[in-house]
Each structure stands twice: as structure tokens, then as C-alpha cells.
Structure 1
């Protein structure tokens, strides 16, 4: 099962209004076999929000810090006759409780000062890299019960004037130690980024992220320069399987991650940039990835393997502007 999102932007270019008014969009969909995405558009006048807390309403759909309820529906006729909707046919409704248990803070890049001067083209904050959802989803008439401790959920926020390219994202909170055999209930891994821009100037290919491991955060964030953090990554698009590789290190630890996700269980997620242009046309997106993390502790010039971790139900994404 996938999730739902709220997007603000402009109406698609090939629409008949003759102008490009702003809109609010609700996106809902699924990963796995039969992956699909549905988009519903609303005038911004129907987008209501609180100033100092997460409390959003679009039409009859609502989202708060602890609860969300709504629906998204696209008919076969709408999907075929309106490619500007960027949408598959389907119908989803949801009533879901939200319990965000572990957060990942992007650091200085999302601080009050840099937000106030719009320093970055794209900002990111992940309040729920481990989030337990509970409730009910109805997809195309079939009811799904969501069990909190088995939901392996995620919640974050992106905002700004443009998306990043490349765009990479990896997240999992379904983790098991392959050394002890123990399920890691208080753990989550998170990486995101690509090529951030500050005041319009590219910082090059950079990721930031971390591993929250049973109460301890291993943070690999280039904005914390004193930690000497460095992250390198690779993505390989395969005929049947897509593969991500990450090597992250700081003064105290080294993390190696290899993730695989079947291409048939992913989709090319459809986003327009906030300026109304559709620049990501091959943005792989999925939630059924699996892989291995090797975590090492550093002791001077020596390293010791701290754990070998299996990850499942992993959210994964990769795409670059201009790739078809």
C-alpha cells in the first residue's frame, strides 16, 4: 500500500482554462503489484491551514499531526481523456491515526534563518522516519485494515521553489539485526537529497541522512562540517531490479547500504515543479525495497563491525531532470 500527499503548484499546461492559476493537489496511490497513482486538483481557495501547527484541509480531506481523513478518485474516462491530470484511474479513501516516533532533522539547511531568506530551492524535514499508522484504507472497493506496529510508516515534508535533480530518497523502519536475530523496534534509516542549490548555486551531488539505531543517531550530514561527514551514492536502473548503493561515514562510524527494489513494483511518480513545469519524467518511486546495512564503529585507524542489518518495506526513489 502506498500513501497520500498534498502538493501546491500550478495547473498543468495542457488544460483549457487559458491561464495557470495556482492549485492544491492530493495524490494517493499504491506500490507493489498493480502500482498506481491518482491526482485530484482543488483551487487554492479550498486549501486551509493553521499558521503554527500541522492542520490542513482541502475540500473534505483533512491532515493534522495525529490524524488524516480523505479521498481521491479518478475515473477511467478522466484518466484517458485528461493526460494533464497525470493520473491512473482508481478510488481511495482513508481514515488513519498517525503516531510519529522517530524524526530526522536536516540541520542548518532547514533552520529558521535559511527558511526566512529562501536560501535553498528545496527544503526537507522528516518528522516521522518511523511512523505508526492505524486505521482503514479503502482502495477500489477493497477494505484494508492498518495495524500500527506492522505499518512501517513514514512522514516528511518538502517545500520550496523547485525540486532537486537528481532526487534520491531511501527510508525504512522495518529492520532486523542479522547478527543477533533481533527485530530493531527503535530504529530507522533515512537518506535524501541529490544536488541541493543555495541561492541558486549548486552544491554538487550531495546526500544527507542517518541511521537511528536503538536509541542512537548515526548522522551523516554535510552541514555539520565538524563531524567530517561524507556520503557517496550510486543508482543503477536494471531491466528487472533497480539498485541503490550508499557509503556514508563520519569521524566515528561507517555505513554501507545496498538496496534493491523490483521495477514492476515501482512507478514513475508524476510531479510538476512549483513553477508548473514537469521536469521529472522518470522519477522511480517505490516502497517494497529490501537490502542490507553494514554499520562499523571507528577506533582510530581500525574499524569494528557493529551490526549487519536487514531492511524491508523500504521507500526508495531516484530520478533526474530531462531523463525520459
Structure 2
């Protein structure tokens, strides 16, 4: 949500028509903050995930809780190894319908907390350009709100699919480097609205206060919507880089790559004003991206997950290598709009690595830039049918 006239229409609530019955909309804000007590730096996220709002506007419905309560006769049938007529149909065809606020932190001891709302509680205040759900506000340049999940909540409702904890935030932000949609189809759209964004404010996580400083916030904002989220899902992005060639911090550089769109990625990369974009819009474009995500065993520091991307665009080749420590990653779950107990399970963490930019000269490659990458968002996910 923001200031650019080009992207302003994407800052609005976009689920219309059939997408209100079978569709999703996801806004994501990611930023770094420092503990006021210890100085430790951590990567936080706040997300808004809307799914099938037109199906059950007055009650938040989670498809993961779709079994009927067992009656005494059902229990007897189950113990006998047979199925009652009633129990034979205990799987109700439930489609999810709600507005979810998801907040948390990556890294060691990372966690996520989920707060589900009925879609009728989601509103737009036109004169202040503010989206509101519960006590959470999503403004054109600010965020505020809180999510609290107790251990008792999870015992009663394991379908909340999150951790116990509490997080609150008071933030302002500005999108410094913006990007128009990189993938825009009738059934799906993804736009990294703020590939490089600046945040400021405070975050409280389980009673510990964190300070968000503009110069070190390394912020990122994107938005997607459509019939269903991508699966397989692949995402890497960062706005914190230092040139190995010059030794200087690259203050006006960032990149974001996401997919898979028919097995492919879309990408926006900006290295000190030199921009490279792969949109996969036309069938005759020769741009190509080769990508992979694999697990590596490293006895010195445990298992690591390795993201590799090689972009071939015209006369240029861009290679990205990022690593995350397996022990510092965790899975976030998203219900698919089609229900069927199907979850998109995204493994995510904060990574480091390198990026290289080459120019083709005949059969040779000339190295234009070689940089260290820090504080990168690294994610990979697939759908999985659970709860059978």
C-alpha cells in the first residue's frame, strides 16, 4: 500500500467477483529490528491473508477443522474396526473463509502467530486510506496491531497452525524502490511493491522490545492474489549487499525473485541503478532463469538449505547463491482456497550468500559486479494434503 501512482491500484482490496468465492489475497511486510535489551538483530514479518471472503462473511471458517464430533456409537464402531453410516461421511467439504493476520520472526527460535477474523470484520476507511481488521491497521504508510496466541488456545484449537506467543507493532514505512507486477494473469498476480523499503518504529515480541531503525530495517513489501497460491513456491529477496569489488555497501541495490509460474520464476534486480527484469509475459522472450533449492549436509554447522539461481537475459548473466541454516528455519502454513485439507507449507528463513553479474563478450564473460548478500528472505514450499 503506498504512494506510487503506477502501483496505487494494487494497494486496494482486489478480490472481486468469483475470486470472493474461490480466491486469496496476500499482503506481506518484512523488516529487521534490534532488541533494545541485547542488541540482537532479528527479521520480523507481518502478513494479511484473505481467503474466500464471500463464502462465510460472518464466521471465520478453517478447513483444517472439518471432522464431525464422534458420538458414543461412532466410538464403539471405531473400536470395533468398522465404520458407522454417520461416520462414513465425517469429512465435510469445508472451504476456508476468513481474514488472517499472521505475524512472527525468522531465525533461531523463530515463531509465527495467527489471528483469524470473519471477513465482515475487514473494512476500508476511505478518508484515511486504512484497512482495518480487529485491532490491526494497514495504512498507506504505517502498520499497527497485535496477535496473541496462548498455549491453551492451541490445545483447544490445533487448527490455528501456529505457535504460542504475543507480538505487537507500531510501524511507519516508505517504499524506496518499487516494482510493477512481474506476473500478471487472469488467475494470478504478483507484484513486489516495495523491493527496497524503509521501516521505523517498535515491535514487542513476548514482552521483549525491538527497535526498527530506517537505515538498518532492510524492508521488503509484496502482494499477490488469485485463485490459489503458487505450488511449488520459490522466493528469494534482499536489499542488503556489499560490493566485493569496491568494498562499499550498495545502498541502492535490491532484488526479488518468485515463482514458480509454470515452472518458471519472475525477477526484478537493481544493482546501483542497473536494472534487470524477467517478467515471463511474452512467449517469444528469450530470458531464462534456472533455479534450484536443495539441502546440504555440513558437519561443522548442521544442515543448510541452498538456493541457486542463474538468470540469462540478453547479454547478461546473473548468478545468485544463498544459504540458510536448517536449524534456523521453520514452516508457515497457508490453507488453499479449494479446501480439501490442503496446505501450502512454506519453509522460510534468513540467508546470506553472493551475487555475480556478468556481461557476455563473445564466448567469454566479463564480471561486472560481485557482491555479498545479507539478510535475505529465502523460502521454498509445496502443497500437502493433511489431516487424513
2:120 is paired with a residue of what secondary structure?
helix
After superposition, the Cα gap between the structure-2 partners of 1:265 and 1:223, relative to the gap in structure 1 and judged at 3 Å, is same
1:130 is paired with a residue of what secondary structure?
strand
2:327 is paired with a residue of what secondary structure?
helix
1:53, 1:217 → 2: CA distance?
34
After superposition, the Cα gap between the structure-2 partners of 1:213 and 1:256, relative to the gap in structure 1 and judged at 3 Å, is same
TM-score normalised by L of structure 2: 0.74
Cross-structure match for 1:211:
269
2:214, 2:181 → 1: CA distance?
26
Q: Which moved more, 1:236-245 or 1:311-320?
A: 236-245
Aligned residues: 306
After superposition, the Cα gap between the structure-2 partners of 1:20 and 1:275, relative to the gap in structure 1 and judged at 3 Å, is closer
1:72 matches 2:147 = yes
Query: Conserved in 2, the CA contact under 8 Å of 1:246 and 1:257?
Result: yes
Cross-structure match for 1:127:
193
Cross-structure match for 1:166:
232
2:152 is paired with a residue of what secondary structure?
helix
1:317 matches 2:379 = yes
Query: Conserved in 2, the CA contact under 8 Å of 1:8 and 1:274?
Result: no
After superposition, the Cα gap between the structure-2 partners of 1:92 and 1:15, relative to the gap in structure 1 and judged at 3 Å, is farther
1:2, 1:33 → 2: CA distance?
12
Query: Conserved in 2, the CA contact under 8 Å of 1:9 and 1:276?
Result: no
After superposition, the Cα gap between the structure-2 partners of 1:277 and 1:171, relative to the gap in structure 1 and judged at 3 Å, is farther
Cross-structure match for 1:153:
219
1:15-94 to 2 correspondences below 5 Å: 22-49=97-124, 55-94=130-169
Match of 1:307 among 369, 373, 376: 369
Cross-structure match for 1:200:
none
Query: Conserved in 2, the CA contact under 8 Å of 1:280 and 1:319?
Result: no
Deviation at 1:219, TM superposition (A): 1.4
1:162, 1:12 → 2: CA distance?
16
Q: Indicate the structure (1 or 2) with the bigger Cα radius of gyration.
A: 2
2:333 is paired with a residue of what secondary structure?
coil
Cross-structure match for 2:256:
190
Deviation at 1:155, TM superposition (A): 0.5
Cross-structure match for 2:280:
222
Gaps of 5+ in 1: 197-203
1:175-324 to 2 correspondences below 5 Å: 175-194=241-260, 196=261, 204-223=262-281, 228-238=286-296, 240-280=303-343, 282-286=345-349, 288-322=350-384
Q: Which moved more, 1:9-18 or 1:308-317?
A: 9-18
Query: Conserved in 1, the CA contact under 8 Å of 2:62 and 2:97?
Result: no
Gaps of 5+ in 2: 1-42, 53-60, 69-91, 298-302
TM-score normalised by L of structure 1: 0.88
Query: Conserved in 1, the CA contact under 8 Å of 2:95 and 2:338?
Result: no
